[in-house]
A and B are shown apart, each in its own frame.
Chain A
């Protein structure tokens, strides 16, 4: 498998993840940044499942591994999370901003852990 093909798979996964994230953001049209929270939790769960799955006896090509790793990274976002937290602080209250940060970190960490445990 050529290295270029593997990079293409990673990029494809990232691009598809970004498209799905944006589609969800358009669907979940809410004042509060729930869309980002949802994609980050789902993406973290998927990465946990995937890492857990790859930790077992699997016969998978490198291209499938890359595709899903790329997808998880493209789907989830740290930059929008940070910016939206700032906007919450500016336009709403600091409590909402802090809540967004704690909820994102806690739920995503838990989702990743859950994915790992489910595949154990």
Chain B
């Protein structure tokens, strides 16, 4: 019994960290989206997803230096809660109803910029914290 307690506590802290990070990320996204129900704005989700990619890249650059719970809070919780794939495709679908090729272009652009933001975040994180990540 006493042996399992630290593991149980670590798991509990991990999920609390993910929950708190996810809730905080979601609220920040909500604050930046002008309208949420039914009528998503492309630019809001676009920008938010890009910021989340940047932050996640940065966090992964320093992942060997920080406690695992920091990653649970920041990477899994916050970045995951801040970014969204479901609203991303919902906006594409809305665009595609009238302009299919605009939607496909927007999808390509958002993914390309998201990848670039993650690379940039990781590179800056490595440079500023003077460490090359093992990954």
Whether B72 and A22, one on each chain, are in contact in the complex, defined by CB atoms closer than 8 angstroms, is yes
Show the binding face of B for A, using Cβ within 8 Å: 14-15, 18-27, 29-30, 36-38, 49, 52-53, 55-57, 60, 72, 75-77, 79-90, 92-93, 107, 111, 114-115, 117-119, 135
Show the binding face of A for B, using Cβ within 8 Å: 7, 10-19, 21-23, 25, 40, 43-44, 46-48, 51, 54-55, 65-66, 69-70, 72-83, 85-87, 101, 104-105, 108-109, 111-113, 116
Min CB gap B74→A, angstroms: 11
Whether A85 and B93, one on each chain, are in contact in the complex, defined by CB atoms closer than 8 angstroms, is no
Count CB-based A-B contacts (< 8 Å): 174
Whether A14 and B25, one on each chain, are in contact in the complex, defined by CB atoms closer than 8 angstroms, is yes
Min CB gap A120→B, angstroms: 13
Question: Which residues on A sit within 8 Å (CB–CB) of B76?
Answer: 18, 21-22, 25, 80
